[in-house]
Amino acid sequence: MSESPYTDLDRPPLHEGALRRLLVRPGALWTDVRVVPETGSTNADLAARAREGAPEGTVLVTELQTAGRGRLGRRWSAPPRSGLMFSLLLRPSVPTVRLGWLSLLTGVAVATAVRHMTAWTPPAAEQANGAAEKGGSPVDVRLKWPNDLLVGERKLAGILVEKIDDAAVVGVGLNVGLRADELPVPTATSLHIEGATLSDRAPLLRAILREFEDWYRDWQALDGDPERSGLRTAYKRLCATLGRSVRVTLPGDRVLDGTARDVDAAGGLVVAADGEEHMVSAGDVVHVR
């Protein structure tokens, strides 16, 4: 017999019907929301649906992901219901040269929603009744270029965007209730470890999807322009990489050591090294202490 999703009361399950009622509505970006108890990879599943013609705005969430992938083929895993693992199917109509901003947009949306939700304060009546979800200082979530979410130097979430014909699948893995003894690596963290009392993941997921929808609609309406949409400014404000000494492993195992100076109009990282500025469009970045 499989374990009941209510066995661990600190990790209640997500309810597909409730999420769909609140997110799928006339005129909304989100056209379908599905929650599955377990899958290998939500990105792989949604990529298959994209090839079959699934509409933009399809959301797939899983309580347990057994073969999740991050950038550069890295694995991403967590115990059941300890995080938010989900993918979004999009069909952006922006110039190809601006599609790279989709992953950075996702980072801004997730970081902003997490900061807002971890600073939430319950109404006075609920506080008087001893509300379990208490407000306080927001978790100081920052972005590591291009799209990891950090608290300090520890990874809270990762994002993977994959192009599928005329569609894009955006995958997010966010550690919510992961405990210290469950961390896959010591360089990871979770909202629970950082002191956020968000045992119910549903409001957080809704906040992320609504924040994403706002950014995505503005970005699309302005033809993917990161300047006019405010996306570049918002990203730079949240980016912990800027101003840091970095080591970038480039394609072909070339290494660039320098200082991260800017995020350019194409979403690339500008690194000053050896008296020159280098534009990095793809690479593995390490913050050097």
The confidence score (pLDDT) of residue 99 equals 95
Assigned token pair, 143: 């972005």
Q: What is the pLDDT of residue 230?
A: 98
For helices 101-118 and 201-221, the axis angle rounded to 10 degrees is 140
Task: Write down the pLDDT at residue 10.
Answer: 77
Q: In this predicted structure, what is the pLDDT of residue 126?
A: 47
Tokens of 190: 């979770």
pTM: 0.90
Residue 83, token pair as written in the block: 């995080």
pLDDT value for 133: 47
Mean pLDDT per block of 10 residues along the chain (289 residues) reads 58 96 97 97 98 98 84 66 97 95 98 92 50 63 96 97 96 96 94 89 98 98 98 98 97 94 97 96 92
- What is the C-alpha separation between 82 and 226, in angstroms, rounded? 33
CA-nearest of 98, 105, 61 to 212 is 105
| Contact status, residue 209 vs residue 30, Cβ threshold 8 Å | yes
**Spatial contact of 189 and 183, defined as CB atoms under 8 Å apart:** yes
Q: What is the pLDDT of residue 195?
A: 93
Domains along the chain? 16-232 (3.30.930.10), 241-287 (2.30.30.100)
Reported as half-sphere exposure (CB side, CA atoms, 13 A), residue 12 has a value of: 9
Residue 167: which of 218, 91, 234, 100 has the closest Cα?
91
Contact at 8 Å (CB) between 271 and 261? yes
Kindly state the tokens that stand for 272.
């000053």
Position 75 scores a pLDDT of: 61
Answer positive or negative: Cα dihedral of 48, 54, 57, 60: negative
